[in-house]
């Protein structure tokens, strides 16, 4: 048997120190369920589209976690079910998302993680304190904006033999 090796710093190759991801037993379970959710979601997306697209399953999981914070009852249970988590586990999901958002960007020196999820709140509306204080990570991703009602889309129906004219 022949074994060889080298010290990468001797040959001038830059090393990238890696830090371990520290997860609770429950968080490890969420990672496994999240992987299942991601693969199922991507499979369904590929089945329903012939076009190219870019999807971040991790970002989608975080977004559903943000929505979960405002959900109650059956809606909250359904979100947990879609993600593969147990019903009533909102606080555990928050802990998991916070842990991942905090740790993933620090795992190594060459990887950058940017999450663009946000909650946009109409300036005229109010959020329940219970939602706003559920997680500091979430409130950092909230913006108050002016949301105007959408105007109806122009009609695209046309009469046979007539030119279509947009309305509105």
Q: pLDDT of the chain along its 168 residues, tens only?
A: 555 555 555 555 566 677 788 888 888 888 899 889 888 888 888 888 777 878 888 888 888 888 888 888 899 899 988 888 888 888 888 888 888 888 888 887 777 777 777 777 788 877 777 777 775 556 566 677 787 776 665 655 544 444 444 444
pTM value surpassing 0.85: no
Query: CA-to-CA distance for 11 and 140, rounded, in angstroms?
Result: 44
Query: Could you give the domains of the chain?
Result: 25-45+53-145 (3.30.497.10)
d(CA 98, CA 136): 9
Rounded to whole angstroms, the Cα distance separating 142 from 153 reads 28
**What residue has token string 């199922």?**
40
């Amino acid at each position: 048997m022949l074994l060889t090796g080298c010290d990468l710093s001797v040959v001038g190759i830059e090393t990238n120190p890696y830090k371990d991801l520290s997860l609770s037993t429950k968080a490890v379970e969420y990672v496994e369920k999240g992987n299942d959710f991601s693969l199922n979601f991507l499979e369904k997306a590929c089945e329903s589209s012939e076009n190219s697209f870019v999807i971040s399953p991790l970002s989608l999981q975080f977004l559903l976690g943000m929505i979960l914070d405002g959900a109650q009852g059956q809606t909250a249970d359904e979100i947990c079910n879609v993600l593969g988590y147990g019903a009533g586990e909102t606080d555990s999901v928050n802990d998991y998302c916070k842990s991942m958002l905090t740790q993933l960007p620090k795992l190594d020196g060459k990887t950058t993680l940017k999450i663009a999820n946000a909650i946009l709140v109409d300036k005229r509306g109010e959020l329940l304190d219970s939602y706003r204080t559920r997680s500091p990570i979430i409130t950092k991703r909230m913006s108050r904006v002016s949301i105007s009602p959408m105007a109806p889309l122009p009609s695209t129906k046309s009469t046979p033999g007539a030119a279509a004219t947009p309305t509105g």
